[in-house]
Amino acid sequence: MNVKPLISKDIIRGHTTTIVLNILSQGDSYGYEIAKMVKVLSRDAYELNEATLYTVFRRLEKNGDITSYWGDESQGGRRKYYQITDQGKQTLTDNIKAWNFAKEVIDDLILGRIEDYE
């Protein structure tokens, strides 16, 4: 039996904002579709639950990184769509730079050999 590992929620926790901004930088979307995209982009290794997702939406909207609007009625009712703002695009760029720096430092801390620095 081949069980696919899931990534720890603790590892992802500080990056949900950047994940959502990345998806919205590719086009307006709504909650369920964004949750599906998280699963697809992670190759089924991570799922963003609805409560977390809507907390992220509220925080991003309050900070001015996204705006929302109601779409046309479709099967089952109206959907609330989210759209990245120019400020949100800058936040995404800044967060990606910070992530790349953190990745390098963490790689050094986890994989680095002390004798290489002596």
Domain range list for the chain: 9-117
Question: Using one digit for the tens of pLDDT, what is the confidence trace for 12-69?
Answer: 888 999 999 999 999 999 999 999 999 999 999 999 998 999 999 999 999 999 999 9
Tokens of 23: 């998806």
Write the burial class of residue 75 (CB in 10 Å: 0-12 exposed, 13-18 middle, 19+ buried).
exposed
This prediction's pTM: 0.86
Distance CA(27)–CA(67), nearest Å, equals 13
Helix (H, G, I), strand (E, B) or coil at 4: coil
CATH topology of domain 9-117: Arc Repressor Mutant, subunit A (1.10.10)
Beta-strand relationship, 66-74 and 29-30: unpaired
Query: Taking a C-beta distance cutoff of 8 angstroms, is the pair 69, 47 a contact?
Result: no
pLDDT band at 76 (very low <50, low <70, confident <90, very high): low
Higher-pLDDT residue of 34, 2: 34
